[in-house]
Amino acid sequence: MGLARKLLAEALGTALLLCVVIGSGVMAERLAGGNVAIALLANTGATVGGLYVLIEVFGPLSGAHFNPAVSAVMAWRGELDRGALLPYVAAQLLGAVVGAWLAHAMFELPILQLSTHLRSGSGQWLAEAIATFGLLLVILLAPSGRASSVVAAYIGAAYWFTSSTSFANPAAAFGRMFSDSFAGIAPASVPGFVAAEMLGAAIAVAAVRHLKPA
């Protein structure tokens, strides 16, 4: 498959993922009656289901990364052409923003927003490093043909065991920056999240080299 088609798949998949995350967050917040635990549970369920389906559908087309940290690791390991890395990341970031806008349009919210939800501090940065470490570990060690289910299950669990609710994805952090909704993150908080996510991904690569030597 040509690079253009792979980039289209990454952009579409990331846009749909952000639609799921942000849209379900808006719906959950509206229906939960102020109960944040119920809202998070609903948001988690939608994300798990959506992520599983999107990986199944787009995996054969582009690898279904939807995540610059995943693409960077795959390029490092030689499983993605290094010349395709920056185009992949650009497609993912563009898709993330479009997904946020589409979620807003569905719920008749202002399309253009910036989040005011501050998510910062050492605990949340550690949580993002752990969340991304676990995600890459699961991806790289998953049995053949099982990545979609194990990744979706891991992210669902990480929504609850991490203090950051497990973004584990620089593109998701970037897209959610443009949504002042339940799932949003303030622009000032994004650099810390992205740095922690990339650190977690790098540690996962090192761990896999020891767990599963070539």
State pLDDT tens for residues 32-55: 999 999 999 999 999 999 999 999
Looking at every residue in the chain, the average pLDDT score rounds to 96
How far apart CA 137 and CA 122 sit, in angstroms, is: 22
State pLDDT tens for residues 121-137: 999 999 999 999 999 99
Using a pLDDT cut of 90, give the percent of the chain over it.
97
* Residue ranges per structural domain of the chain: 3-211
> 122-141 vs 190-211: helix axis angle to the nearest 10?
40
Is 94's pLDDT higher than 80? yes
CA distances from 5 to 77, 80, 199 (A): 22, 14, 30
Is 14's pLDDT higher than 80? yes
Structure tokens at 63: 């690898």
Are 61 and 6 a contacting pair, CB within 8 Å?
yes
Query: What's the pLDDT score for residue 15?
Result: 98
What 8-state DSSP symbol labels residue 116? -
Query: What's the pLDDT score for residue 212?
Result: 85
Are 115 and 177 a contacting pair, CB within 8 Å?
yes
Closest CA to 58 of 95, 108, 29: 95
Closest CA to 48 of 24, 77, 26: 24
Query: What's the pLDDT score for residue 88?
Result: 98
Single pTM value for the model: 0.95
Is 1's pLDDT higher than 80? no
Over residues 66-78, the mean pLDDT reads: 97
Q: Give kind and range of the element (H or E) at residue 88.
A: helix 85-106
What 8-state DSSP symbol labels residue 143? P
**C-alpha torsion angle, residues 118, 119, 123, 126 (rounded to 10):** -150
Question: In the CATH hierarchy, which fold is given to the domain comprising 3-211?
Answer: Glycerol uptake facilitator protein (1.20.1080)
